[in-house]
Amino acid sequence: MKMEPVESSNLKAIGYDEEAGILRVAFKSGPSYNYKGVPLSAYESLLMSDSKGACFALTIKGHYEYEKVKE
């Protein structure tokens, strides 16, 4: 999955697999997580948001099932 670096105090990069509906979020604190069933519109909103951390907290966190990426 191609990851896009983002300007954020909390997030390092985000990527999206449109076919699988998986959003991957890499955090500056270390781990990356896959969020399942995320629509393309939510990924696009996150990419375009002025505050990616706030957008993530409001629209993704707690709304989708997730798992830690094994690296």
* pLDDT score for 69: 96
pLDDT in tens, 11-65: 999 999 999 999 999 999 989 999 999 999 999 999 999 999 999 999 999 999 9
pLDDT of residue 61: 95
Tokens of residue 70, six digits: 């094994």
The pTM is what?
Answer: 0.93
Predicted local confidence at residue 23, as pLDDT: 98
In Å, how far are 24, 37, 55, 69 from 33, measured between CA atoms?
6, 13, 16, 5
Consecutive H or E run containing 26: strand 22-27
Query: How high is the pLDDT of residue 16?
Result: 98
